[in-house]
Homo-oligomer: A and B are copies of this chain.
Amino acid sequence: MHVIHSVHEMHNWVFMLKKSGKKIGFVPTMGYLHKGHLELLKLGRGQCDVLVASIFVNPTQFAPGEDYNGYPRDLKRDMELAQWAEVDCLFLPDPAEIYPPGYRTFIEVESLSENLCGAFRPGHFRGVATVVAKLFNIVAPDAAFFGEKDAQQLLIIRKMVEDLNFPVKVVGCPTVRESDGLAMSSRNVYLADEERAQATALHRSLLKAKEMVAGGETDAKKVLAAMREVLSEAPAVQVEYIQAVDVATLQDVSRIVGKVLIAMAVHVGKARLIDNIMLDTEVRGDAAKTAEMHAPH
């Protein structure tokens, strides 16, 4: 496994590969790898000739007061896991390599960045879009792999790639969960035992929504209220938002019809956790079968 720290070296390495016609798969991460990341790497490994992963805790996507400094890091373990996942090249830039002094260029995917997490994390998706564009220019992947757990992020990246004409195929991968339903997240490490037990309420509330919509309920207010009720049984879980939004626009919907994303963010102790479910009432058969997240066009 190559380990590359500089943009310059990465550009050179990629340039050689491109000339040989190799198809590059790319999994950008913030490290502290979990099974969700490993699924992304597995998918990339299967679909591409060369697999590149990056580990970079991106400062510009943390709002002031968030957990940038405390974000969990374990490079030694991550490198072992990357090796195990047959990563060909691990890109490990320093923050100063990505944002040198005088840095001042930012990418905005307008309106998609404003609702849901965007409303609570000012500048977050600007930071995400910007660093992903930079990494795409540095790694020049043919395909890049992102988890559906970060649904808004995935939709914003798809839109950016489409709008800015990046020659990159964006592949979304289903959320990987613990056996009790908790979505895999590097931030789960923040949870104390009792908080960890109560955090299963997120997935239970999403299953409740799925069940109601499958039963014919289309009133978003009723569905969201029932979800809040499920969550209220877990007092450690403090809801930041629970919303039902149109998949293409990420604007709130009052009726759950067609492709709707139900997304939530909660605080549990020190951890801010997010989770979501995609519903598609137009899928034949089971009316509320969860659908894979497609590009909104």
Contacts and interface: CB of A to CB of B under 8 A. Distances in A.
A18 B21 CA distance: 9
B137 A103 contact: no
Contact of A103 (B102, B140, B163): B163
Contact of A104 (B103, B111, B133): B111
A108 B109 contact: no
B165 A137 contact: yes
Interface in A1-56: 7, 11, 15, 18-19, 21
Contacts of A111: 104
A77 interface: no
Given A105-B109, A107-B106, A138 B159 contact: no
A241 interface: no
Contact of A160 (B11, B105, B138, B159): B105
Most chain B beta carbons < 10 A, residue from A18, A108, A160, A163 = A163
B105 A105 contact: no
Given A19-B19, A159-B104, A165 B109 contact: no
A130 B160 CA distance: 11
Q: Which 4 A-B pairs have the closest CB atoms?
A: A105-B163, A137-B165, A104-B110, A138-B165
Interface of A: 7, 11, 15, 18-19, 21, 102-112, 129-130, 133-134, 137-138, 140, 159-160, 163-167, 248, 297
Given A105-B108, A137-B165, 10 more contacts: A18-B18, A19-B21, A102-B248, A103-B163, A104-B112, A104-B159, A105-B129, A105-B163, A106-B107, A137-B164
